[in-house]
């Protein structure tokens, strides 16, 4: 009994201390079924400030961004309904919560992943075209149906993006980059470094964190020999050998949870997972894939002062990065799924059924965690 109490106390202390330090890691991947329909999955591992609500922004929602000096920036009304995990309090003068993981009713998704290599760029446009990076998700999902439209708008310089410093993240320039996917299967990555907005076609279909996305694509060349075909027999001189079980193909995958290794692992699962024949089978397949990126508390421990660059302050005890929530999207049917760290099963939100809502509506993660059935759409409609 005493040992159980100690284990529980240790786990609680890790959670509490994790909220002091700021190590962070996330994985997003895409998946296509046998019919070419598009799905995405994402895990969120972060030891600091966390999204705590699901928010629905109906079409026609007024979004007001701000300029670096606190004046009104780009202002617009959304064309499409959006649902996603929102994060409040990132900066004092934000007019709306940051969309951390979201999808619109056209089947376009956005995922904010941690990225510490951002640089400041010089603004050359008037205030009414100036957008805080924390409002980028609302701009992208609120105005566009697919990744190509987003890419073209950036190329036409319809906006310029500035990055506020985040006090809770060691005063880093907002350490985010974005992955976007659409129902047609196209993906892009947006990074704010080298003094400009860089948009990359995401031909690998996955994204993690630092280093830059082109670095990850180059590193993928080192794993050109990866295959899902087991080699179960061999010979050493005259000694013939046979593996005792299947699964040897996985031996070549990197084992750690650092960002470059997770990128390779995500690309492997995204590419080789069995192609389901129905949407129901497909979302089940994505859920099994995402289980391979789930990190329980205590599996990896960071000693005090050894955490990532984004740590906000020193901790007096060990910290443990864990998967605080996991999401999935069926982009063809418009279904958004979420599971928090307190849940075993997912809750599904039918995004298109929320179109009757005329005002912004939020559902807390606590309410979501207490929901016991698969369909959680009524959490927004009641």
pLDDT of residue 93: 74
Cβ pair 86, 55 in contact under 8 A: yes
Alpha carbon of 140 to those of 34, 81, 126: distances in Å?
Answer: 29, 12, 19
pLDDT of residue 17: 35
In the predicted structure, residue 81 carries a pLDDT above the cut 90: yes
Cβ pair 63, 94 in contact under 8 A: no
368: confidence class by pLDDT, cuts 50, 70, 90: very high
* Average pLDDT value for residue range 46-55: 82
191: confidence class by pLDDT, cuts 50, 70, 90: very high
* Average pLDDT value for residue range 55-75: 96
3-state secondary structure of 207: strand
**CATH architecture for segment(s) 2-381:** 4-Layer Sandwich (3.60)
pLDDT of residue 321: 84
**Distance of alpha carbon 351 from alpha carbon 338, whole angstroms:** 13
pLDDT of residue 362: 97
Close Cβ partners of 372 (under 8 Å, ≥ 6 residues apart): none
* Average pLDDT value for residue range 124-129: 95
Mean pLDDT of the chain: 90
3-state secondary structure of 130: strand
* Average pLDDT value for residue range 171-197: 95
Cα dihedral angle (24, 258, 111, 28), rounded to 10 degrees? -140
pLDDT of residue 315: 59
87: confidence class by pLDDT, cuts 50, 70, 90: confident
For the chain, domain boundaries: 2-381
**Distance of alpha carbon 79 from alpha carbon 59, whole angstroms:** 5
Which helix (H) or strand (E) segment is 342 a member of? none
pLDDT of residue 102: 98
Tally: H helices and E strands in the chain: 8, 22
In the predicted structure, residue 9 carries a pLDDT above the cut 50: no
């Amino acid at each position: 009994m005493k040992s159980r109490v100690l284990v529980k106390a240790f786990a609680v202390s890790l959670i509490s201390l994790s909220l002091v330090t700021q190590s962070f890691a996330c994985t997003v991947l895409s998946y296509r079924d046998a019919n070419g329909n598009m799905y995405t999955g994402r895990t969120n591992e972060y030891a600091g400030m966390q999204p705590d609500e699901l928010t629905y922004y109906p079409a026609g929602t007024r979004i007001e961004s701000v300029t670096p000096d606190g004046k009104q920036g780009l202002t617009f009304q959304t064309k499409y309904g959006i649902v996603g995990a929102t994060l409040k309090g990132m900066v004092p003068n934000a007019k709306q919560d940051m969309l951390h993981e979201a999808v619109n009713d056209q089947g376009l998704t956005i995922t904010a992943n941690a990225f510490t290599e951002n640089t400041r760029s010089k603004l050359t446009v008037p205030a009414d075209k100036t957008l805080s990076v924390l409002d980028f998700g609302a701009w992208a999902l609120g105005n566009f149906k697919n990744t190509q439209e987003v890419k073209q708008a950036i190329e036409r310089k319809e906006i310029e993006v500035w990055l506020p410093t985040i006090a809770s993240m060691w005063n880093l320039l907002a350490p985010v980059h974005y992955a976007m996917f659409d129902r047609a299967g196209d993906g892009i990555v947006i990074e704010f470094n080298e003094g400009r907005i860089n948009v990359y076609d995401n031909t690998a279909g996955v994204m993690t964190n630092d280093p830059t996305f082109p670095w990850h694509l180059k590193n993928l060349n080192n794993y050109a020999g990866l295959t899902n075909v087991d080699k179960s027999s061999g010979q050493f001189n005259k000694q013939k050998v046979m593996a005792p079980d299947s699964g040897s193909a996985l031996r070549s995958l990197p084992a750690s949870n650092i960002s470059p290794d997770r990128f390779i692992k995500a690309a492997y699962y995204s590419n080789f997972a069995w192609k389901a024949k129905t949407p129901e089978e497909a979302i089940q397949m994505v859920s099994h894939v995402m289980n391979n990126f789930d990190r329980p508390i205590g599996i990896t421990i960071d000693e005090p002062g050894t955490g990532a660059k984004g740590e906000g302050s020193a901790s007096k005890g060990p910290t443990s990065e864990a998967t605080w929530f996991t999401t999935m999207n069926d982009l063809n049917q418009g279904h958004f799924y979420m599971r928090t760290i307190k849940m075993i099963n997912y809750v599904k939100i039918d995004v298109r059924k929320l179109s009757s809502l005329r005002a912004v509506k939020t559902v807390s993660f606590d309410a979501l965690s207490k929901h016991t059935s698969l369909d959680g759409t009524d959490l927004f409609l009641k």
